[in-house]
Amino acid sequence: MAGRARGTSAGLDRARIAAAAVTLVDRDGLERFGVRRLADELGVDPMSIYHHVKGKAALLDALSEAVLGEIAPGGADDGDGDWQGVARDLAHAYRDLAFRHPHVFPLLATRAQTSPAAISALESLVAAMRRAGLPDRVVADAPMVLFGFLNGHLLARTTEGPAAVPAFDARTHPTMAALVPRWADFGSAAELDRMLDAVLAGLAQQAAAPGTA
């Protein structure tokens, strides 16, 4: 590091910087993440990073894009009209990503995601819905509905863990206490599927409603 000329690219590119950023956040968390720490991780002067990524916000976008790139494209060319299968595969891929990168995931849930990786995932969903003949109003709403649910659901499960279900006092909250066994699978893939059923059924019901265009 001491011998590195300030501003020298040092063989860096955006992909290498983003990959190192993901590794750093996975290990130490977002709170400790910064350009100087990333430069130390790469063994370069901080100006070498700014040569490729213009500022902290752009660096967070590159980090998010690198993680979203782990979602394999799929479903866009399937001609069977199974849009719910495409949505379910996408939801589980997103869940797997969230559990692999729990410290990165808040970025995905709280920042606008407009990278090619993000748009490709959405394209697979809306294209499948259109092929199935769903009205454009429902198709246009679907990404917001699906990822609004997924982001809230997964933020709670990747930041809290199983202990997030409290032991309710049956004397003061008897109904909540009676429901605790129903939350035994908190954070599981089965729980996601059960709640996803409700989301997808709602979209299907909206698509079938009279007057939906």
Can you tell me the distance from the alpha carbon of 115 to that of 179, in angstroms, rounded to the nearest whole number? 41
How does pLDDT run across 158-206, given as a tens digit for each residue? 986 555 788 899 999 999 999 999 999 999 999 999 999 999 999 999 9
Which pLDDT band, with edges at 50, 70 and 90, does 76 fall under? Answer: very low
Q: For residue 154, which of 193, 82, 114, 102 has the smallest C-alpha distance?
A: 102
Q: Is the pLDDT of residue 72 over 80?
A: no
How does pLDDT run across 10-37, given as a tens digit for each residue? 679 999 999 999 999 999 999 999 999 9
CB 77 within 8 A of CB 50: no
**Alpha helices by DSSP H, the chain:** 14-28, 35-42, 46-50, 56-68, 83-100, 105-110, 116-131, 136-159, 174-179, 189-208
Q: Which two tokens stand for residue 78?
A: 């399937």
Our CA angle for 190, 191, 196, nearest 5°, is 95
Identity of the residue numbered 102:
P
How does pLDDT run across 117-142, given as a tens digit for each residue? 999 999 999 999 999 999 999 999 99
The answer to whether the predicted template modeling score (pTM) of the entire model surpasses 0.85 is yes
User: CB under 8 Å to 207, separation ≥6 — which residues?
Assistant: 134, 135, 138
Q: 161: which DSSP letter?
A: -
Can you tell me the distance from the alpha carbon of 187 to that of 161, in angstroms, rounded to the nearest whole number? 7
Q: For residue 202, which of 190, 188, 212, 189 has the smallest C-alpha distance?
A: 212
Can you tell me the distance from the alpha carbon of 176 to that of 168, in angstroms, rounded to the nearest whole number? 6
